[in-house]
Structure 1
């Protein structure tokens, strides 16, 4: 029974962020087919921020009217919605309509909102449910949550990307020859990829259903989850700890009373949370196409897939090599910001970034994105470990800082990309860049 619960916990965690992570790694194929083109990531970041209404609503309902809406009912509802939305996305992702005189992928954007609603709400519902089990099962749950970014990345790598080639095409009217970019098809279509996301979400739903039926001897334990390092890591990523048991609250108060951090140090810690989340959830994802696409579709595909996989890898590293020194975390934040600055600079130089058309340039942009996500993910996890030990109130403010940074980053970049058009797209074959 213990092994079965471990497997079910891992499969349950897989459904936490698999849909949104899947969308990010599939963007390199969709930006060439949807009318938003290179601006599509900026739309996605704003939609994800709007979807945070889901966890806000769930938290308010559970706090004000706990008898009206049960936690399990919310989880069933959001996972079922996730399965349905992934199926709909497979059929309608390429459908377009005219809105305000312009062509838009309305169906994709609406379905993406519901998928974002599912994944954002999972942050404040999945972990409180898992806290009813012993800490060892919370460990395997977070292994599954890490796989929610790792598995779609592996599927995307297996899918491949439409390799581009430049063809000399003669116009039918003027008989003039010009260079045209041709995209070769991937190994399987985005429709198949979205079906795989639906299957992963369905596995999570099935695992949750079975977890609710395990013998009561595995449930409703009162062990202090704070002693488990992975539970500490998880609590940093959202403010779901407000739903913890009364026993945990009682045991965490002495830790809060013995805090070794001053007000200035707390201010620095929360600054790290705002800064790291602003960069990784808002500012940089909005311009990933502009920083990578000038190097070719392969570079964009690899940067999207591998950087998505870097997040769970950083969480695993933090489990075994924790670093609580604020000086060290500040150093990692500076390093991650440096890679982010390089990515932003290449986006600003689009369509002619540094070392364009060279293998070194392609390798640098992919490596920079991976290290950017990896370094700042490590900072976010370890800051969560610190705040987890400071008690419930510290985690509440951590959740506020996460959402504040993400929202400011997304809302800052959207007008710069879509209204003022400060970033320029370019064709790999037809764009002429100075040597």
Structure 2
């Protein structure tokens, strides 16, 4: 039996193990250093299985400028890449039939990757109409093939590496660690596409077409490396009976231990390749040196990945105890990173230098623990059959796919900004304790303005108020009342006369002062609200949250629309924000130092008045006004939009000209929120929120309109409160 296994012409010595051993150990002649170095270099190149997709990722910022999908291109690419997992499922259900063809499948993967990159180079800018809409059909088709190849590499490459010497596993993982740095470095050499909005942008040295062709060249090098490694595999003598060894593994080692390792690998991939990528910007950017922190942490992962893997390989990788300890540390670090992301834009120590240093350290150490977990699990499974490394690849792919899906869902936080900011100003720092309640109030505000009550008809016919409450459902009103009442009671219990943290503090302190100065008057007022002494405050807070959140959200949309259509306005805002704020977060006290930014907000409010008419007023007595007699009890409303578009007050009112509000006298004529005691009570809150949103957003981003589309309409959608019609913009981080 032994003689049948060995070929006589092999230049290897065979050492027989003791009789109770079930395997044959081969003692190979030590290879020359140059050959060993060549093999390790080939392992590094072979380990770059996701290199083709990284070339695509590096070109998305350039392609997005001309692709018909514009700003939605990245999310659509993510979906197409996720579909590549279909090929993994096909292989999994046919793995027994295909296991003997793994070498052929690896060669086929390289051929598909090379052909797809060459095809993308010549077709990425071809537009195909589908149902009357332009789409980058060929780009998506070939990205799908690249994704299929990338997913297959996770399943096939590691089992193949188990046939080589175990010391070649580390170079393979070094290749995995640096596969993103190759297109990253080429992308830096290539330069950026200028869109006319972001300053200091350089011209492209070579086009995307040549970039993809360079990618095909690197994949060819990787394929040649595999051809060389496969020759090394064919020249080695493997163990006598692999199936018998595999059966021994099942009897000698508990199956649950390997299941635990695979679960740990899936969890690590879930965070490393999925959700943490989407949350990293939220965690890093708010800090004092946020841009630098974000850049350092991302580059440390991309460019230092190979070095990190090499340093980790010098440690003990097969210690189960150390693996579990580092995995526990990894979960603690990830939990902290997620916490800082969800606390954005005010994570711990946000304004201090130490805060910036500590968050960069946390992310770098977190990446090190992820690399260690991945390499340690692979080293443990490497001692077993290729079957174990196959499941290692499957666990990696499942975790990465689940993480990408969760990341796509988590990042839809933008629309909650208005309500979160308003609630912070009114109710204090309650976001962490009452996140569910705040989300419900946001939905309630939307429902209120969506229903018939939002027409304001109950302001003319007061007996209809209860009728509309029934239509909306008393649960909406009662829910808001209970939540706000709970927050008021918390404030009253911790009230400090020397500190006013929010609207409720100010109201309660003023209430206390009036009670002390005029006890009888206050006593009478309390009798009117005997059932609930906070009834007026509760009603006021609910009204502000409902009205201010609606007006703020719609005005934010109009502001983005107009600034995207006027890049010269953005340029002036960026210059002012850079000069006054630098890298620190904006504050309400900065308004007087940012006159142009404040003027942009006022001009947006004027040119697209959210409320075309004011709240109803009633003449308490017969009045003469401009030659007209207004009888007592006459209902009066202001045509706010007509006033704000009056050319006698605002020169060229149809044009977006923020400079007009640099004149303080003209600001007093902006009556978009009404006049008198029945003016909108959410005016101050809404303006403060708009100021914080605008300064924070344009401090970090610039926006533009996608090319190839008609300019969007600035005409509002009609309704009780007007809103912006759907439009598309491109948001880019400022460099």
SS of 1:432's partner is helix
Whole-angstrom distance in 1 between the partners of 2:358 and 2:259: 34
Whole-angstrom distance in 1 between the partners of 2:114 and 2:126: 19
Whole-angstrom distance in 1 between the partners of 2:68 and 2:344: 19
Question: Counterpart of 1:89?
Answer: 120
Q: Of residues 177, 200, 203 in structure 1, which corresponds to 2:221?
A: 203
Question: Counterpart of 1:222?
Answer: 237
Contact 2:82 2:401 in 1 (8 A): yes
Asked if 1:383 is matched to 2:358, the reply is: no
Question: Counterpart of 2:106?
Answer: 75
Change in CA separation of 1:364 and 1:91 when aligned onto 2, cut-off 3 Å:
farther
Whole-angstrom distance in 1 between the partners of 2:206 and 2:300: 20
Structure 2 gaps of 5+ residues are 1-30, 419-555, 561-569, 578-693, 700-735
Question: Counterpart of 1:279?
Answer: 271
Contact 2:128 2:137 in 1 (8 A): yes
Question: Counterpart of 1:121?
Answer: 152
Whole-angstrom distance in 2 between the partners of 1:365 and 1:39: 30
Question: Counterpart of 2:467?
Answer: none
Relative contact order, CA 8 A, sep 6+: which one is greater? Answer: 1
Whole-angstrom distance in 1 between the partners of 2:290 and 2:125: 22
Whole-angstrom distance in 2 between the partners of 1:35 and 1:352: 36
SS of 1:184's partner is coil
Question: Counterpart of 2:201?
Answer: 184
SS of 2:109's partner is helix
Whole-angstrom distance in 2 between the partners of 1:37 and 1:346: 30
Contact 1:352 1:433 in 2 (8 A): no
TM-score normalised per structure 1: 0.67
TM-score normalised per structure 2: 0.43
Asked if 1:371 is matched to 2:393, the reply is: no
Shift of the alpha carbon at 1:345?
A: 4.9
Change in CA separation of 1:27 and 1:292 when aligned onto 2, cut-off 3 Å:
farther
Deviations 1:110-134 (A, max 9, x none): 4322211112212333445555555
Aligned-residue CA RMSD in angstroms? 4.9
Q: Of residues 403, 411, 431 in structure 1, which corresponds to 2:397?
A: 403
More helix per residue: 1 or 2?
1
Larger radius of gyration: 2
Contact 1:36 1:104 in 2 (8 A): yes
Contact 1:280 1:376 in 2 (8 A): yes
Contact 1:42 1:285 in 2 (8 A): no
Q: Of residues 679, 688, 696 in structure 2, which corresponds to 1:433?
A: 696
Contact 1:9 1:137 in 2 (8 A): no
Structure 1 gaps of 5+ residues are 168-179, 225-245
Whole-angstrom distance in 2 between the partners of 1:318 and 1:399: 20
SS of 2:199's partner is strand
Whole-angstrom distance in 1 between the partners of 2:349 and 2:206: 31
Whole-angstrom distance in 1 between the partners of 2:251 and 2:150: 34
Shift of the alpha carbon at 1:356?
A: 7.8
Deviations 1:215-266 (A, max 9, x none): xx86252346xxxxxxxxxxxxxxxxxxxxx74443354455443x695x66
Alignment of 1:286-435 (within 5 A): 286-288=278-280, 302-341=296-335, 343-345=337-339, 347-348=341-342, 368-389=362-383, 395=389, 398-417=392-411, 429=574, 431-433=694-696
Shift of the alpha carbon at 1:381?
A: 1.9
Asked if 1:64 is matched to 2:106, the reply is: no
Change in CA separation of 1:45 and 1:336 when aligned onto 2, cut-off 3 Å:
farther
Asked if 1:10 is matched to 2:43, the reply is: yes
Contact 2:284 2:290 in 1 (8 A): yes
Alignment of 1:45-64 (within 5 A): 45-58=78-91, 60-61=93-94, 63-64=96-97
Whole-angstrom distance in 2 between the partners of 1:307 and 1:205: 25
Change in CA separation of 1:218 and 1:332 when aligned onto 2, cut-off 3 Å:
closer
Shift of the alpha carbon at 1:87?
A: 2.8
